[in-house]
Amino acid sequence: MRCTATSKVKGQQCGNEAIPGGNVCRYHGGAAPQVKLAAHLRLAALIDPAIGVLAANMRDRKKNPAVAQRAAEDVLDRAVGKTPETIRLVGSGEGGAIQVEDVSAAEFVRRELARVAARSNPGSDPKPTE
């Protein structure tokens, strides 16, 4: 959303982005603690309705509620936070050496699901397929 403040010099609307949940950019008061708090509370008030939209869309699969779905996801992303794109895995390798690996969130979930499946099926191969 665009900042709603008006420039004193040009008399035109500010071209900066407003802070998330707010109406003004950080230059026009969006950096003030009380404005940040109000913006945070405004977003927090939208979490429950957004979850309701997601739940309704999940129940009714015949419609194409793409716009409402995306709006609900956007509110949740802004208020709760997005899933990281990559996850840093730290473990011990051979000889006790520290092993660090960056993997995508999707790859991490795939590996965890493969581990759970391997535990429930002891005879299966514990390594995930590529």
Domain locations in the chain as residue ranges: 86-120
User: What is the band of 127 on the pLDDT scale with cuts at 50, 70, 90?
Assistant: low
Closest C-alpha among 15, 43, 17 to residue 30: 17
pLDDT in tens, 38-52: 999 998 998 888 888
Indicate whether 28 pLDDT > 80. Answer: yes
The reply to whether the predicted model has a pTM over 0.75 is: no
pLDDT value at position 72? 75
pLDDT value at position 13? 94
Q: What angle do CA 120, 122, 124 make, to 5 degrees?
A: 100
User: What is the band of 54 on the pLDDT scale with cuts at 50, 70, 90?
Assistant: confident
